[in-house]
Amino acid sequence: MLKRLKTTTLIRHFRHVKKRAKAKKALTRLRTIANKLIRELQRKLPTYSLFETYQKDFLFYQQVLAQQPKDKNKIYSLHEPDVYVIAKGKDHKQYEYGNKVSIVSTKDNNIIVGVVSHDKNIHDSKTLDATITHANSNRTKPIQQAVCDRGYVGVKRL
């Protein structure tokens, strides 16, 4: 079964037109195996009185298995559930998955004076105020001028 599981995980990455049916079949097989495991654990864990301990995890796994490609607020990572999609728009990497982070460093020495992690995927220009405020809380002198990349277009003054 382990060998069959490994081959189906490899096959599901084939998205070429000729292999799309094979990829869809492999994804269906993986979901079937995962659902079987969850049902078996739900059946056997109550005898050991462990089901209440892991009930939150089971609900999370069932939510992952039930989600569809067009659903909103999908879970992209089992280990880091707060991850979201960041559209890059580049040819070699259209999308990235993670959290958006803003870093403030000094101009001359490149010493990092502030780091802010953002909960939602908002435009860079709207993150500048929170980032500068956080960096000012770590400094004795307030920041007078900021040099940013083109993602912060539109912000002239704070």
CB 128 within 8 A of CB 155: yes
Lowest mean pLDDT of 40-54, 63-77, 119-133, name the range: 40-54
Q: What is the pLDDT of residue 93?
A: 80
Give the residue from 84, 82, 146, 87 showing the smallest Cα distance to 114.
Answer: 146
The residue-averaged pLDDT of 119-123 equals 85
Give the residue from 27, 71, 93, 12 showing the smallest Cα distance to 63.
Answer: 71
CB 20 within 8 A of CB 5: no
Residue extents of the structural domains in the chain:
2-71, 76-158
Mean pLDDT of the chain: 83
Q: What is the pLDDT of residue 10?
A: 63
Q: What is the pLDDT of residue 158?
A: 65
The percentage of residues in the chain with a pLDDT greater than 70, rounded to a whole number, is 87
Lowest mean pLDDT of 10-14, 26-30, 78-82, name the range: 10-14
**16 has a pLDDT exceeding 80:** no
More reliable by pLDDT, 154 or 115: 115
